[in-house]
Amino acid sequence: MQLNGSDILMECLLEQGVDTVFGYPGGAVLNIYDALYKYSDRITHILTAHEQGAAHAADGFARATGKVGVCIATSGPGATNLVTGIATAYMDSIPVVAITGNVSVEQLGRDSFQEIDITGITMPITKHNFIVKDINQLAPTVRAAFEIAQSGRPGPVLIDIPKDISAAVTDYTPAPASQKRPVPPPKEPRIKKALEIIATCERPLIYFGGGVISSGAEELLMRFATEQDIPVCASMMGLGGFDPSNPLWLGMVGMHGTAAANLAAKECDALFVCGARFSDRVAGDRKGFAPNAKVIHIDIDHAEFDKNVATAVRIGGELKTVLAAFCDRSEPHLHTAWVNLVTGRKKDAFVPMQDPEEMPDPRAILHSLRTLVDDETVIATDVGQHQMWTAQHFEVRRPRRLLTSGGLGTMGYGVGAAIGAQCGTKHKRTVLITGDGSFHMNCNELATLVSYNLPVTVLVFDNRVLGMVRQWQKVFYDRRFSATDPERATDFVKLAAAYGCRGLSMNTASEIEAVLRDALSGEGPVVVDCRLSKDVNVLPMIPPGKTVDSMIETME
Whose CA is closest to 130, among 93, 165, 108, 158? 158
Among 128, 286, 333, 474, binds other proteins (CB under 8 A): 128
Instruction: Quote the distance between the C-alpha of residue 159 and its chain's center.
Output: 22
Give whole-number Cα distances, 245 to 127, 207, 393, 395, 454, in Å: 36, 17, 13, 9, 31
Residue 306 as a binder of other proteins (CB under 8 A): the answer is yes
Among 143, 180, 190, 307, binds other proteins (CB under 8 A): 307
Q: For residues 128 and 223, which CB has a smaller minimum distance to other proteins in the complex?
A: 128
Residue 375 as a binder of other proteins (CB under 8 A): the answer is no
Min separation Cβ 122 and other proteins, Å: 11
Which of these ranges, 288-296, 300-308, 352-360, 413-421, lies near other proteins under the rule CB under 8 A? Answer: 300-308
Min separation Cβ 278 and other proteins, Å: 14
**Where are the extended beta strands (E) located within 105-231?**
128-131, 156-162, 169-171, 204-208
Q: Is 175 exposed, middle or buried (0-12, 13-18, 19+ CB in 10 A)?
A: middle
Residue 182 as a binder of other proteins (CB under 8 A): the answer is no
Q: For residues 148 and 541, which CB has a smaller minimum distance to other proteins in the complex?
A: 148
- Round to whole Å and give the CA distance between 232 and 242: 8
Which of these ranges, 3-11, 304-312, 380-388, 400-408, lies near other proteins under the rule CB under 8 A? Answer: 304-312
Which of these ranges, 9-17, 303-311, 354-362, 394-402, lies near other proteins under the rule CB under 8 A? Answer: 303-311
Burial letters 102-130, b for 16+ CB under 10 A, else e: bbebebbeeebebbbebbebbeebbbbbb
Strand 169-171 relative to strand 2-4: parallel, antiparallel, unpaired?
antiparallel
DSSP-assigned letter for residue 123: G
Min separation Cβ 146 and other proteins, Å: 13
Burial letters 345-366, b for 16+ CB under 10 A, else e: ebeeeeeeebeeeebbbbbbbb
Residue 109 as a binder of other proteins (CB under 8 A): the answer is no
- Round to whole Å and give the CA distance between 281 and 320: 25
Residue 351 as a binder of other proteins (CB under 8 A): the answer is no
Which of these ranges, 26-34, 121-129, 367-375, 531-539, lies near other proteins under the rule CB under 8 A? Answer: 121-129
* Angle formed at CA 478 by CA 476 and CA 484, multiple of 5 degrees: 80
At 393, the amino acid letter reads H
Burial letters 245-272, b for 16+ CB under 10 A, else e: eeebbbbbbbbbbbbbbbbbbbbbbbbb
Among 109, 120, 247, 291, binds other proteins (CB under 8 A): 120
Question: Which residues, including other chains, have CB under 8 Å from residue 353's CB and lie 6 or more apart?
Answer: none
Binding mask 129-158 for other proteins (x = CB under 8 A): -------------------x----------
- Round to whole Å and give the CA distance between 524 and 53: 18
Using CB under 8 A, count the residues that bind other proteins: 13
SS3 content of the chain, % helix, strand, coil (to 5): 40, 15, 40
Residue 190 as a binder of other proteins (CB under 8 A): the answer is no
Q: For residues 152 and 288, which CB has a smaller minimum distance to other proteins in the complex?
A: 152
Residue 546 as a binder of other proteins (CB under 8 A): the answer is no
Min separation Cβ 126 and other proteins, Å: 10
Q: For residues 307 and 370, which CB has a smaller minimum distance to other proteins in the complex?
A: 307
- Considering only residues 448 to 477 of the shown chain, the ones binding other proteins according to CB under 8 A are none
Among 48, 84, 119, 390, binds other proteins (CB under 8 A): 119
Min separation Cβ 302 and other proteins, Å: 5
Q: Is 479 left (phi over 0), alpha (psi -120 to 50) or beta?
A: left
- Round to whole Å and give the CA distance between 518 and 212: 35
Which of these ranges, 115-123, 208-216, 240-248, 395-403, lies near other proteins under the rule CB under 8 A? Answer: 115-123
Give whole-number Cα distances, 176 to 130, 139, 140, 173, 250, in Å: 21, 12, 12, 10, 44
Among 2, 37, 41, 124, binds other proteins (CB under 8 A): 124
Residue 303 as a binder of other proteins (CB under 8 A): the answer is yes
Active site residues: 51, 113-114, 163, 468
Instruction: Quote the distance between the C-alpha of residue 166 and its chain's center.
Output: 32
Min separation Cβ 86 and other proteins, Å: 15
Residue 301 as a binder of other proteins (CB under 8 A): the answer is yes
Q: What torsion, rounded to 10 degrees, do the Cα atoms 86, 87, 88, 91 define? A: 130
Min separation Cβ 550 and other proteins, Å: 26
Which of these ranges, 13-21, 124-132, 251-259, 261-269, lies near other proteins under the rule CB under 8 A? Answer: 124-132
Contact status, residue 211 vs residue 301, Cβ threshold 8 Å: no
Q: For residues 149 and 530, which CB has a smaller minimum distance to other proteins in the complex?
A: 149
Q: For residues 180 and 427, which CB has a smaller minimum distance to other proteins in the complex?
A: 180
Backbone angles phi, psi at 21, to 5 degrees: -130, 155
Among 302, 426, 428, 494, binds other proteins (CB under 8 A): 302
Among 90, 272, 305, 338, binds other proteins (CB under 8 A): 305
Q: For residues 127 and 256, which CB has a smaller minimum distance to other proteins in the complex?
A: 127
Min separation Cβ 308 and other proteins, Å: 11
Q: For residues 77 and 120, which CB has a smaller minimum distance to other proteins in the complex?
A: 120
Which of these ranges, 84-92, 122-130, 207-215, 346-354, lies near other proteins under the rule CB under 8 A? Answer: 122-130
Min separation Cβ 225 and other proteins, Å: 28
Question: Which residues, including other chains, have CB under 8 Å from residue 129's CB and lie 6 or more apart?
Answer: 118, 119, 122, 123, 157, 158, 159, 160
Question: Which residues, including other chains, have CB under 8 Å from residue 262's CB and lie 6 or more apart?
Answer: 253, 254, 542, 547, 548, 551
User: What are the residues binding other proteins (CB under 8 A)?
Assistant: 119-120, 123-124, 127-128, 148, 301-303, 305-307
